[in-house]
Amino acid sequence: MKLKIDYSVYLVTDTGFLQGRDFAACIEAALKGGVTLLQYRDKNADSRVLLERALLLKKMCAVYHVPLLINDRLDIALAVQADGVHVGQSDLPVTVVRRLLGEQAVIGASAHNPEEARQALADGADYLGCGAVFGTTTKNDAGYLGLDGLQCIRQAVTAPLVGIGGVNSTNFEQVLQTGANGAAIVSGILAADDIEAEVRKFKTIADRYKNI
């Protein structure tokens, strides 16, 4: 049976916000705080480094019973037996990922409008990452969607979706108010001085919403 996912507090990794702190220690703090889903995203490292970090995350996620998805790199996902893959519009097509990973894998796709959202789901995606909801510096090429745009996609599809882009513990509730199932968070968690405590703030807010 397919893994049941809690998309509410979805951490996407980025080493750029760690300010010299240890990668594994920061991710473990986030897992302790209660992130519900983890995506390993790293667009720059060599494959060997990607593999080593993904293996480390896989072990940590197993301890905390948190599913692990890999951004873009289906080979890394296969190598570490991750729970799935997240693909953007310039990554491998959802149809190809589904064919190679099988029906049980969790496949997410980025969508910036209702048309992309419907297409991704028709192609076999399990959930959608929609953004940028707020101004963000994480991905320079991410188009701005806004809360209105997110709500527009929410009304167009019934599949799980998360908002991404500039989400922090202050604006997280606005994302949930659109009917989104959660948010994919990068700097909103990883740039915090106390990562574990920051994740707990998200958890407290998420606990109040039934769309999760």
* 139 given a catalytic annotation: yes
41 is annotated as an active-site residue: yes
3-state secondary structure of 130: strand
Segment lying near a second copy (by CB under 8 A), choices 70-78, 117-125, 168-176, 186-194: 70-78
Q: How far apart are CA 47 and CA 34, in angstroms?
A: 29
Cβ(122)–Cβ(155) under 8 Å? no
What is the x/- site pattern for a second copy, positions 96-135, by CB under 8 A? x---x-----------------------------------
Annotated binding-site residues for Mg(2+) read 72, 91
Compose the 39-58 pattern: x for residues touching a second copy by CB under 8 A, - for all others. Answer: -------xxxx-x-------
Among 15, 89, 113, 187, contact with a second copy (rule: CB under 8 A): 89
Kindly report the number of other CB atoms within 10 A of residue 15's CB atom: 14
- H-helix or E-strand spanning residue 29: helix 23-33
Task: Answer yes or no whether residue 28 interacts with a second copy by CB under 8 A.
Answer: no
Q: Write down the residue that tokens 């760690």 correspond to.
A: 18
Q: If residue 87 lies in a helix (H) or strand (E), which one and from where to where? A: strand 84-87
Whichever of 74 and 150 has its CB closer to a second copy, that residue is 74
Cβ-proximal residues to 100 (8 Å cutoff; 6+ apart), any chain: 74, 78
73 binds a second copy (CB under 8 A): yes
Please report the sign of the dihedral spanned by the C-alpha atoms of residue 3, residue 180, residue 73, residue 36. negative
Nearer to a second copy, 24 or 45 (CB): 45
CB of 165 to a second copy, least distance (A): 19
Clarify whether 32 is annotated catalytic: no
Smallest separation (angstroms) from a second copy to the CB of 142: 14
Rounded distance, CA 110 to CA 104, Å?
Answer: 19
Smallest gap from Cβ 63 to a second copy, in A, equals: 23
**Cα Dmax for the chain:** 42
Task: Name which position in 18, 56, 78, 152 contacts a second copy (CB under 8 A).
Answer: 78
Q: Which of 110, 154, 169, 201 is catalytic?
A: 110
Question: Three-state SS string across 39-59, please?
Answer: EECCCCCCHHHHHHHHHHHHH
Q: Could you list the active site residues? A: 41, 110, 139
Footprint on this chain of a second copy (rule: CB under 8 A): 46-49, 51, 72-75, 78-79, 87, 89-93, 96, 100
